[in-house]
A and B are shown apart, each in its own frame.
Chain A
Amino acid sequence: MERKVLGRSRVGIAGVGGLGSHVAVALVRAGVGGLVLADFDSVEESNLERQCYFRDQVGRFKVEALSETLVRINPVVEIRCFPVRVTADNLVELFDGVDVMVEAFDRADQKSLLVSTFRRRFPAIPLVAASGVAGIGPANRIITRRAVENLYICGDGKSGVGAHTPLQAPRVGIVAHHQALAVLRLLHGLDPCDADNGDGCAIEN
């Protein structure tokens, strides 16, 4: 994709749990000017072990709690918040106009629904998804790969959440930052996985 001006770019994030909340924070810190956040969930005490929320935010919609945190980092960031469940029907309305999209859901069936629907409705917009984030497997197994045209997947591709592989803050955090970096590279007009195409040292804002 073409290079964008970071401060004027807009990134959509579907799901603001362990992945999406950290992707949002990283992107705002990096200078992305606009975010569209969608998640119907509210903050629970059990989320605090890996999601970017605080004890005094328990009970509030995650998208609202997260926007407050983001505005504390950058008061001029433009955030659109939707405390709704993302479906095949409302996806276009929610995320129309984003430069890059992030899939950050928890359940496998929500991931495939978002990815297949978004890819069909917005074939020209890059989508950065995640798969294989659970457990405490080595960090070096986590990669960013291009699956098909305009679809990048971060994670080890295998470690689903289960009884022996709960979600752990460090590994979910690594994948979230793989996603955020992939978004940043896309906004700079760079391929997220191409090691030969720019090491990112020459980034200008």
Chain B
Amino acid sequence: MRLKINGKERQYPEPISLEELLQQLGIERQGLVVELNREILPLERLAEIELKDNDALELIQFVGGG
């Protein structure tokens, strides 16, 4: 399966869910905003998202302080 993550192409041998992808990449859920195919995902739905071939993801991680 081919995914575009923050502009870079990546290849995955097996289908992967968003949850699994975030775990593999070591990305914390706290402060995360995800755009899938140019649409921002509601935070409460992140756990249910299955990814498809050629999906384009933007993972935006916010850190605390302000």
Contacts and interface: CB of A to CB of B under 8 A. Distances in A.
Interface in B17-66: 30-35, 38, 40-43, 58, 60-66
Query: Which among B30, B61, B65 has the highest number of chain A CB atoms within 10 Å?
Result: B65
Interface in A133-154: 133-134, 147-149, 151, 153
B65 A167 contact: yes
B31 A108 contact: yes
13 contacts: A105-B66, A106-B66, A111-B62, A112-B30, A115-B60, A116-B41, A132-B65, A147-B58, A148-B58, A151-B60, A157-B61, A160-B65, A172-B66
- Range, interface on chain B: 10 to 19
Contact of A116 (B30, B38, B43): B43
Contact of A109 (B30, B35, B41, B60): B30
Contacts of B40: 115-116, 119-120, 148
A115 B38 contact: no
B58 A133 contact: no
B66 A158 contact: no
A191 B19 CA distance: 34
B64 A120 contact: no
A130 B60 CA distance: 12
B58 A109 contact: no
B33 A133 contact: no
A112 B31 contact: yes
Contacts of A130: 66
A159 interface: yes
A172 B66 CA distance: 7
A124 interface: no
Contacts of B63: 108, 131-132, 134, 157-161
Given A112-B32, A112-B33, A147-B60, A106 B38 contact: no
